[in-house]
Amino acid sequence: MNKLYFKYGSMGSSKTAQALMCRFNYIQKGFNVLLAKPSIDTRSSNVTSRIGLTAKCETFSPKENLIEFFNKFNKESKIDVFIIDEAQFLTKEQVNELKEISLTIPVLCYGLLTNFKTELFEGSKRLVELSDSLMEIKSVCKCGRKATINARFVNGKIVLEGNEVEIGADEMYEGMCYNCFKKELKNNGCN
């Protein structure tokens, strides 16, 4: 169905794996899928999950108009579905553009809701405001509770200071419940 979808979760919740499985399902049924991610994610030219699923994707810059980006690929070969990974890195305007695209085809966005300071990312905030469908992809903390915090670690210590965007994965971030997050802050002398 033609809608703007936002599927979000904490670090390690298999957001990318689910995006790649969704892509596979559409392709298997004969649909043409445009898979893309913001160029700010410089880890790979592919979309790659922690469990080893991977697919070639297109990238776009923060200044790029996503309607023009989409139209470029749609002219080459009609696009039936648009899937975006790392959607937290979208700009507010790009989310507005995705909403327009979603009037004609399904647009599925996968990403984090909040940064390591527990604040909404710009793209995530706008996706919450405009999406027709919001779905939390749940993950667990090491204690067994639901992980909701994307804790950042530097030299093994949790931090609350620094740039909003630091590209990394398990070596730098951990999905945690709020209780464990607060305990970790206290243990490291952070308030």
| Cβ proximity of 27 and 33 under 8 Å | yes
Helix (H) or strand (E) run with residue 82 in it = strand 81-84
Structure tokens at 162: 């620094």
- What's the CA gap between 59 and 72, in Å, rounded? 13
Instruction: Give the residue numbers annotated as catalytic, written as ranges.
Output: 86
| Cβ proximity of 149 and 27 under 8 Å | no
Structure tokens at 81: 């579905």
- What's the CA gap between 75 and 67, in Å, rounded? 12
